[in-house]
Structure 1
């Protein structure tokens, strides 16, 4: 259940979406990522990620505990039928190989279906930007801008 406070923030500020690198930096205590998330929350943005992203960022020991704690504070979006259909469209529109870029396509599709404006934190400078550009071909022409880390 989403709190009333978070619902108001989603309506006003959009979404800061984390890919595996963004989440990994956050789990590892990166000050730059912490600051980005703090500013996003102060500006009413929801901080979200795809349900597949924690699988890419698995940790053990104390880091696993920190990951679990951080995930409890973030909006983890499920992989729904709509996300799968959107990911397939993104792969088709971008010309990328579905086998090799499946997770990237799921992440961008989930971001594209989030509350706008959407900013996707990623270190990928080749595939993610192509998929984000392809997102503009989806219904509603969602714009997903990349924040490079």
Structure 2
């Protein structure tokens, strides 16, 4: 049974984006993350991750096998020229350093180019919310709502 709290966080359609923490929790068997993904899929949302995210979530042994299986179930979004340009704009708008926040910027840019409504599962409470707020200024970009786990 999925809690009402989880049901209210995932809207119909749209996109659920997993950053490294969201994916890590799922790989490690976190029931809350599993439920959130199930609800998203049941509601017709696409579950996606940036092509750079697995680099932060490396595993070995059986956990590596589980990671490979889960990655095969979700949509991998490539780091295209459009994603890089959006990430650059987000970093500038948020006043963040590209060296420190590069991966976060690429993940949020990936989310900003996704089908709305967009939820981004993250554990970051500083850079990602700032980048999500900056994404609101991108032309044609949907609002990217960070869900802190």
Instruction: Give TM-score scaled by structure 2 length.
Output: 0.91
How does 1:25-104 map onto structure 2 within 5 Å?
Answer: 25-104=25-104
Instruction: Compute the displacement of 1:139 (Å).
Output: 1.1
- State TM-score, norm by structure 1: 0.91
Q: CA deviation at 1:132?
A: 0.1
Match of 1:107 in 2: 107
- 1:20, distance to aligned residue in structure 2 (A): 0.3
Structure 2: any 5+ residue segments left out of the alignment? 1-11
CA distance in 1, matches of 2:136, 2:142: 5
How many residue pairs match? The answer is 138
Write out the 4+ residue segments of structure 1 that deviate beyond 6 Å after TM superposition.
none
- RMSD over aligned CA atoms reads 0.8
Q: Distance in 1 between matches of 2:127 and 2:35?
A: 26
CA deviations over 1:11-52 (Å, ceiling 9, x no partner): x60000000000000000100000000000011000001000
Partner Cα distance (1:34, 1:56) in 2: 19
- Provide the residue aligned with 2:136 in structure 1: 136
8 Å CA contact retained: 2:15, 2:45: yes
For residues 120 and 27 of structure 1, the distance between their equivalents in structure 2, rounded to whole angstroms, comes to 17
Q: CA deviation at 1:142?
A: 2.1
Deviation of 1:140 (Å): 1.0
